[in-house]
C-alpha cells in the first residue's frame, strides 16, 4: 500500500486545528466559571456541611444563579428544536396525543 507523504499528513493536521478567538470576553467568562467552580468545590469539601443545599450555593456564589438560568434556557431551546425536527416522523395518533397534552396544560 502506498504511504501518505509527510506533507499530506501535516496538511491534514492543520485542517483539524481549531483556532478560538482570543478576546477578553472569553477570558473573563473562563475566569468567572473558574471562580464559581472553586466556590462550589470549597463548599462541597467543607467537612462541616452535612447536607448539600443547592439554594445556598446558588444564592451565595456570585453569578452562579444567572449562569444556571442562562444554561437552562439554552438547553430548553435545544430541546424545542429537537422536538420540532422530530415532529415529521411521528404518527397522526402520536401527534394527537401531544396536542391533547398541550391543551390540558393550557387549561
CA distance 32 to 87: 39
Name, in order, each residue with C-beta under 8 angstroms of 59's C-beta and a sequence gap of 6 or more.
Answer: 65
Task: Show me where the domains of the chain are located.
Answer: 21-106
Query: Is this prediction's pTM over 0.85?
Result: no
Give the confidence band of 61 by pLDDT, cuts at 50, 70, 90. Answer: very high
Instruction: Please give the pLDDT value at position 5.
Output: 54
Reported as a single tens digit per residue, the pLDDT across 23-50 is: 888 888 899 999 999 999 999 999 998 8
Q: What angle do CA 43, 48, 51 make, to 5 degrees?
A: 70
Between 74 and 4, residue with greater pLDDT: 74
Amino acid at each position: 500500500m502506498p504511504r501518505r507523504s509527510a506533507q499530506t499528513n501535516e496538511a491534514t493536521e492543520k485542517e483539524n486545528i481549531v483556532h478560538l478567538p482570543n478576546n477578553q470576553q472569553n477570558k473573563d467568562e473562563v475566569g468567572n466559571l473558574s471562580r464559581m467552580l472553586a466556590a462550589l468545590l470549597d463548599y462541597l469539601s467543607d467537612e462541616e456541611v452535612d447536607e448539600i443545599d443547592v439554594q445556598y450555593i446558588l444564592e451565595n456564589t456570585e453569578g452562579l444563579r444567572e449562569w444556571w438560568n442562562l444554561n437552562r434556557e439554552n438547553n430548553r431551546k435545544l430541546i424545542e428544536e429537537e422536538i420540532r425536527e422530530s415532529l415529521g416522523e411521528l404518527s397522526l395518533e402520536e401527534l394527537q396525543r401531544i396536542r391533547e397534552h398541550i391543551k390540558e396544560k393550557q387549561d
